[in-house]
C-alpha cells in the first residue's frame, strides 16, 4: 500500500496550490526515486506513450469544433429552437437553458464551452425576465455538466483510451444517461419555478417550432453525423471529430455566414490552451497510473471492497461515493485518467460492465463540475453573472440532488448505459 503515499503527496501538493500537472509529475518522480529501483528515463517513456495515440487526436478536434460552432452562429439558433419547444412552460427560460445545453453538449463534449456558449446569452436574458441571478447562474452551471456526458464526450474518449474500451461504445453509452440527467434537471427547474412564480413566455406554436427547427437543422445534424459516421463504419472516432471541424467551418462560413476568417483564426487560437492543458495532464497521468498499477494498488483496492461486499451494486455504490468526494477536489480530466485504470479492473472482476462503469465514473465526476472548490462550470457560470461563488453554490443544491438520484438510477439499471451500445453488436 506504499503507492497510496504517492496519492497523499499529490493531494498535499494540490492543496499547496501547485497546478495538477506539476503536482502529479512531482509526486510520481519523488515516489520513483524513493521506492522504485528503475531508471529515470522511464518517466519520459511513459509520458510519451500517454499521448502517442491516434484516438487521442479526437480531443483537440472536438475542442476546436466546439469553438467554431460557438462563433459560427450555431449556439443562438440552438437557443431559439429550445425556446420554441419549452419557453411557454413554467420556468420556460430555465428549461431553455437545460435543453439548449443538452443540444450544445451533443456538439462539443465540453462543460465549460457549453456554459460559455449558452450562459453568455441566457443568464442575462433570465435576469431581464425577473429570474433571480444566483438561480440563473446555478441552473446554467448544472446544465453545463451535460457537456462531458452527452456524446461526443471528451471524458468518454479519455476513459476509453485509458482502459482500452471501444470509444464508439462509450460515446453511445452516454446518450441515455445524459438525457436522464437533463430530464431530472428540468423537473427540478419546473418545481422551483412554480414555487417562485417564474412563468413561461407566450404559447406553444407548432409553426414557430418548425420554423426554428428548420433554422437550426444544420446544427442539430452534427451529433447525427458524428455518431452515424462512427457506427456506419465511414469514420473512426478521430476522423469523425476532424470532420466535425470541417462541417462547423462549412456551416459557419457558407450556410449561416457568421464565421469570418478572423473569427475562424480566433477560434483556433482560443482552442490551443485547453488542448495543451488536457494533453499535458494525459501525459503525466499515464506515468502516475502506470506506477500505481505496477505497485498493485488496483488489486489492493479490489480486495478491500470485496471484503466489504461481493455484490456488484453495493460495489458500484461504494465506488460512486468515493468518486463523488474525489470529484469535489479534482478536475474530471485528471480524475478519469487516474482512477479509470485503477478501478476498472476491480469493476470487471466484480462482474460490472466496463462500459457501464465508465458512464458512472464520468457522470459522477461531472457532478464535481458544479461543486466548490474546483467546479469548472460553477466558476464559469458565476463569472458570467458576476456573482460570488458561495451565493451561486447555495442555489445549486436542488440540482445536485437531482444528479445524485440520476446516478443511483444509472447504477441500479445498467441498461440505461448498455442498451444503445448493445444495439450495434
Helix H, strand E, coil C: the string for 139-170 is: HHHHHHCCCCCCCCCHHHHHHHHHHCCCHHHH
Q: Hey, CA dihedral for 173, 175, 178, 183, is it positive or negative?
A: negative
The set of residues, in sequence order, having a beta carbon less than 8 Å from that of 412 and lying 6+ positions away, is 313
* pLDDT, tens only, 22-48: 888 888 888 888 888 788 787 888 888
- Alpha helices per DSSP H over 72-166: 74-86, 92-108, 111-114, 120-128, 133-144, 154-163
Give the whole-angstrom CA distance, residue 68 versus residue 36.
46
* pLDDT, tens only, 289-311: 788 777 776 667 667 776 777 78
Closest CA to 421 of 337, 341, 356, 350: 356
Question: In which band, very low, low, confident or very high, does the pLDDT at 62 lie, cut at 50, 70 and 90?
Answer: confident
Residue 107: the pLDDT is 72
* pLDDT, tens only, 202-222: 788 888 889 988 888 888 887
Q: Is residue 392 part of a domain?
A: yes
Residue 298: the pLDDT is 65
Residue 30: the pLDDT is 86
Q: Are 6 and 291 in contact (CB under 8 A)?
A: yes
> How many other CB atoms are there within 10 angstroms of residue 315's CB atom?
24
Residue with cell 462550470: 377
Residue 424: the pLDDT is 64
Q: Is residue 128 part of a domain?
A: yes
Residue 300: the pLDDT is 72
Residue 357: the pLDDT is 95
Q: Provide mean pLDDT across the span 50-71.
A: 76
Q: Is residue 384 part of a domain?
A: yes
Residue 299: the pLDDT is 67
Q: Are 363 and 165 in contact (CB under 8 A)?
A: no
Q: Provide mean pLDDT across the span 44-54.
A: 77
Q: Hey, CA dihedral for 153, 67, 127, 78, is it positive or negative?
A: negative
Residue 135: the pLDDT is 92
Q: Provide mean pLDDT across the span 409-422.
A: 92
As a whole-number percent, the residues of the chain with pLDDT over 70 amount to 96
Give the whole-angstrom CA distance, residue 91 versus residue 219.
25
Kindly tell me if the per-residue pLDDT of 376 is higher than 60: yes
Q: How far apart are the first and last CA of the chain?
A: 40
Encode 253-281: b = buried (16+ Cβ within 10 Å), e = exposed: beebeebeeebbeebeeebeebeeebebb
Residue 399: the pLDDT is 93
Domain limits for position 128:
56-423
Q: Is residue 391 part of a domain?
A: yes
How far is residue 65 CA from its own chain's centroid?
Answer: 15
Give the whole-angstrom CA distance, residue 389 versus residue 391.
6
Cis amide linkage into residue 152, ω under 30° from 0: yes
Residue 304: the pLDDT is 74
> How many other CB atoms are there within 10 angstroms of residue 103's CB atom?
26
Encode 337-376: b = buried (16+ Cβ within 10 Å), e = exposed: bbbbbbbbbbbebbebbbbbbbbbbbbbbbbbbbbbebbb
Kindly tell me if the per-residue pLDDT of 380 is higher than 90: no
- Alpha helices per DSSP H over 202-331: 206-231, 237-250, 261-294, 297-308, 312-329
Residue with cell 451494486: 313
Give the whole-angstrom CA distance, residue 87 versus residue 168.
34
Closest CA to 286 of 334, 327, 348, 343: 334
Kindly tell me if the per-residue pLDDT of 192 is higher than 60: yes
Residue 190: the pLDDT is 92
> How many other CB atoms are there within 10 angstroms of residue 189's CB atom?
29
Of residues 242 and 416, more confidently modeled: 416
Q: Is residue 28 part of a domain?
A: no
As a whole-number percent, the residues of the chain with pLDDT over 90 amount to 16
Q: Is 205 helix (H, G, I), strand (E, B) or coil?
A: coil
Q: Provide mean pLDDT across the span 154-176.
A: 87
Q: Provide mean pLDDT across the span 319-335.
A: 83
Kindly tell me if the per-residue pLDDT of 1 is higher than 60: no
Q: Is residue 324 part of a domain?
A: yes
Q: Is residue 3 part of a domain?
A: no
Kindly tell me if the per-residue pLDDT of 51 is higher than 80: no
Q: Provide mean pLDDT across the span 342-371.
A: 89
Closest CA to 107 of 126, 125, 81: 81
Kindly tell me if the per-residue pLDDT of 418 is higher than 90: yes
Give the whole-angstrom CA distance, residue 146 versus residue 174.
10
Phi, psi torsion values for 257, nearest 5 degrees: 55, 40
Residue 409: the pLDDT is 95
Q: Provide mean pLDDT across the span 251-262.
A: 84
Q: Please state the domain count of the chain.
A: 1
Q: Is residue 409 part of a domain?
A: yes
Q: Provide mean pLDDT across the span 215-233.
A: 79
Q: Are 396 and 355 in contact (CB under 8 A)?
A: no
Question: In which band, very low, low, confident or very high, does the pLDDT at 263 lie, cut at 50, 70 and 90?
Answer: confident
Kindly tell me if the per-residue pLDDT of 182 is higher than 90: yes
Amino acid at each position: 500500500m506504499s503507492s497510496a503515499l504517492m496519492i497523499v503527496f499529490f493531494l498535499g501538493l494540490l492543496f499547496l496550490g501547485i497546478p495538477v500537472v506539476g503536482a502529479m509529475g512531482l509526486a510520481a518522480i519523488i515516489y520513483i526515486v524513493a521506492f522504485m529501483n528503475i531508471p529515470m528515463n522511464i518517466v519520459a517513456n511513459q509520458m510519451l506513450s500517454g499521448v502517442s495515440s491516434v484516438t487521442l487526436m479526437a480531443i483537440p478536434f472536438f475542442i476546436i469544433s466546439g469553438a467554431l460552432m460557438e462563433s459560427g452562429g450555431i449556439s443562438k439558433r440552438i437557443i431559439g429552437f429550445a425556446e420554441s419547444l419549452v419557453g411557454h412552460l413554467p420556468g420556460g427560460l430555465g428549461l431553455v437553458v437545460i435543453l439548449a445545453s443538452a443540444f450544445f453538449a451533443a456538439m462539443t463534449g465540453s462543460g465549460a464551452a457549453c456554459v460559455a456558449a449558452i450562459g453568455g446569452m441566457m443568464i442575462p436574458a433570465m435576469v431581464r425576465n425577473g429570474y433571480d441571478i444566483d438561480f440563473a447562474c446555478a441552473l446554467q452551471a448544472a446544465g453545463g455538466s451535460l457537456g462531458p456526458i452527452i456524446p461526443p464526450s471528451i471524458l468518454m474518449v479519455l476513459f476509453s483510451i485509458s482502459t482500452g474500451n471501444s470509444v464508439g461504445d462509450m460515446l453511445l453509452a452516454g446518450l441515455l444517461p445524459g438525457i436522464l440527467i437533463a430530464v431530472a434537471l428540468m423537473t427540478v427547474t419546473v418545481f422551483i419555478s412554480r414555487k417562485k412564480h417564474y412563468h413561461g413566455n407566450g404559447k406553444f406554436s407548432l409553426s414557430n417550432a418548425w420554423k426554428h427547427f428548420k433554422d437550426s437543422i444544420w446544427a442539430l445534424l452534427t451529433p447525427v453525423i458524428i455518431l452515424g459516421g462512427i457506427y456506419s463504419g465511414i469514420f473512426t472516432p478521430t476522423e469523425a471529430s476532424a470532420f466535425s471541424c470541417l462541417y462547423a467551418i462549412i456551416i459557419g462560413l457558407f450556410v449561416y455566414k457568421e464565421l469570418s476568417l478572423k473569427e475562424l483564426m480566433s477560434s483556433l487560437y482560443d482552442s490551443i490552451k485547453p488542448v495543451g492543458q488536457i494533453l499535458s495532464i494525459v501525459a503525466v497521468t499515464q506515468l502516475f497510473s502506470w506506477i500505481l498499477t505496477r505497485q498493485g494498488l488496483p488489486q489492493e483496492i479490489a480486495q478491500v471492497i470485496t471484503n466489504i461486499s461481493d455484490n456488484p451494486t453495493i460495489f458500484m455504490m461504494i465506488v460512486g461515493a468515493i468518486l463523488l468526494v474525489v470529484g469535489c477536489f479534482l478536475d474530471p480530466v485528471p480524475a478519469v485518467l487516474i482512477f479509470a485504470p485503477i478501478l476498472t479492473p476491480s469493476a470487471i472482476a466484480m462482474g460490472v460492465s466496463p462500459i457501464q462503469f465508465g458512464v458512472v465514473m464520468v457522470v459522477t465526476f461531472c457532478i464535481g463540475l458544479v461543486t466548490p472548490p474546483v467546479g469548472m462550470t460553477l466558476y464559469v457560470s458565476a463569472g458570467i453573472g458576476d456573482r460570488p461563488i458561495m451565493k451561486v453554490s447555495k442555489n445549486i443544491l436542488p440540482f445536485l440532488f437531482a444528479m445524485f438520484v440520476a446516478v443511483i438510477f444509472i447504477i441500479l439499471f445498467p441498461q440505461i448505459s448498455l442498451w444503445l451500445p448493445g444495439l450495434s453488436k
